[in-house]
Structure 1
């Protein structure tokens, strides 16, 4: 990207200006993902500080945008995001990944955040992105997670598999083991958000806060201990 245009776009982002369709297409054309992510994260933290909302199995009133299909032009996503921007009130845009490399996902989320208005939520569809990419996207404009597999369902499946090989242990063992697995699944989700340097906030379908968890451990303290790698 030509340095003058890059500087002008950066100034407009930091000034809180609305970007245009042409701006969005230009931003999609850049390979400077670190720069793009920095701008998107600025926009995201201006509205939501360090908070990341999430819900397990709670449908929300949202508009899904699928991306990553072969041959899908940049203009298609830009137009989809701008159509949402014209709706009254804060909207929730859920981006669902169909295909494509992780770099494409980072670029897509960053550009979507830069085009949306401040009150809009930009939601990662957890099921189509997986934990590793979801964690990266939290620093590329995303402020919310949805379609997280219910820990209870995962726990139930794991317990059933164990029970098939240990039928004599009975319901008492099954209940205790299920509870332990549910706690482990929830803890992994919280750790993923904390490791991204953000604060997990459980919400309901209307984005009302159910539980605001602790703030993340400061970066200097986190560097003093080995960090988990999400794969």
Structure 2
């Protein structure tokens, strides 16, 4: 990228002008990661100061039985297959109650698209979980699951959301987005929820007062232009509803063979390696610059590793997600040395070591507690960036 184009993009960003598709593609073509990260960090600081948000959450997957066989997924199992499971509601509640002493504020619930579970299982699950953990926010179900519920219940998405909200739902999850462009999507997704239905369901959730996350799965067969177009679709929907709280780039986890039975669960193996750390940081930076109307950008450390996650905080991200336990969706793939759990103290240390001030939040991004920031010596003598 020549100096003139850099200056033009800097001026647009600093003036608060909206970047175009062409601008986004040009940013991805830049090989000056330090410049790109610095520009994204300006925007991140303007929106969120020196704060990094986190929460204390746990993930609950009540069934891994799924009618779909998406090429990127290592989680799903077919009915009767070894390791397929479905929890009874009482079992899910018992498991959730066991987490009660960990001061969690959010339960994140995602499941497979089970062909035989009745619709009533889902609102009843939420209702019983809410009774057991009345002070814990329930973030549950992807738009893909809501679409599936329409099929098995005969109800509309509006009726489904009303019942789930009455049962205790406070937010949908952001999953099922992957990459919206059909050129890519047709090769990676094996269900029928695409942009039209994904956006319809999130638009409807926003109209009912739910705030939701938005996501993008990157680092597989897509190209930078697909990432740009994905973000621009979300940006346009955000202009309409204002309902997205956060954008979460998710790095594709590559080449998983189940050591228990030798099956290749994750079939999307167009690359021999995952996206590099540098590519991950570029994706965070461009996303922060393009998605100008979303308040937060989250780095999900489980899918990036803690070191890349710390660096992402200097490339546009301002949220480090939560402490997480037993995350199955990618850790049924390969964890690449990434832990399943970080304690609150671990997160505080990681955020401070990256040079930021930790703030604990709830699902609605309401501040629960502000912590001391990094010590003065660290702020005045930042550590060199390593990619």
Is the CA contact 2:284–2:316 (under 8 Å) kept in the aligned structure 1? Answer: yes
Q: Find the residue that maps to 1:12 and give its secondary structure.
A: helix
Q: Which residue of 1 aligns with 2:307?
A: 132
Moved more, 115-124 or 93-102: 115-124
Moved more, 49-58 or 35-44: 49-58
Aligned equivalents of 1:13, 1:49: Cα separation in 2: 17
Q: Which residue of 2 aligns with 1:210?
A: 368
Deviation at 1:207, TM superposition (A): 0.8
Q: Which residue of 2 aligns with 1:192?
A: 350
Q: Which residue of 2 aligns with 1:94?
A: 248
1:50-85 Cα shifts (integer Å, max 9, x gaps): 11111122345211211111x311011111111111
Pairing of 1:56-135 with structure 2 (within 5 A): 56-57=56-57, 58=106, 59=108, 61-69=212-220, 71-86=221-236, 87=238, 88-89=241-242, 91=244, 92-98=246-252, 99-135=274-310
Aligned equivalents of 1:21, 1:148: Cα separation in 2: 35
Moved more, 39-48 or 188-197: 188-197
Provide structure 2 residue ranges, at least 5 long, that are not aligned to the other structure.
58-105, 109-138, 140-211, 253-273, 328-340
TM-score norm. by structure 1 comes to: 0.77
Aligned equivalents of 2:370, 2:226: Cα separation in 1: 36
CA RMSD of aligned residues (A): 2.5
Aligned length: 196
Moved more, 51-60 or 17-26: 51-60
Deviation at 1:103, TM superposition (A): 0.4
Aligned equivalents of 1:83, 1:221: Cα separation in 2: 37
Is the CA contact 1:90–1:121 (under 8 Å) kept in the aligned structure 2? Answer: no
Is the CA contact 2:323–2:344 (under 8 Å) kept in the aligned structure 1? Answer: no
Deviation at 1:185, TM superposition (A): 2.8
Is the CA contact 1:199–1:213 (under 8 Å) kept in the aligned structure 2? Answer: yes
Q: Which residue of 1 aligns with 2:205?
A: none
Deviation at 1:118, TM superposition (A): 4.6
Q: Which residue of 2 aligns with 1:168?
A: none
Deviation at 1:6, TM superposition (A): 1.1
Q: Which residue of 1 aligns with 2:37?
A: 37
Which aligned runs of 4 or more in structure 1 are off by greater than 3 angstroms?
A: 219-224
Q: Which residue of 1 aligns with 2:17?
A: 17
1:128-159 Cα shifts (integer Å, max 9, x gaps): 01111100000000011225324xx79xxxxx
Provide structure 1 residue ranges, at least 5 long, that are not aligned to the other structure.
155-181
Deviation at 1:197, TM superposition (A): 1.2
Aligned equivalents of 1:223, 1:45: Cα separation in 2: 19
1:145-183 Cα shifts (integer Å, max 9, x gaps): 225324xx79xxxxxxxxxxxxxxxxxxxxxxxxxxx9x
Moved more, 211-220 or 9-18: 211-220
TM-score norm. by structure 2 comes to: 0.47
Deviation at 1:214, TM superposition (A): 1.2
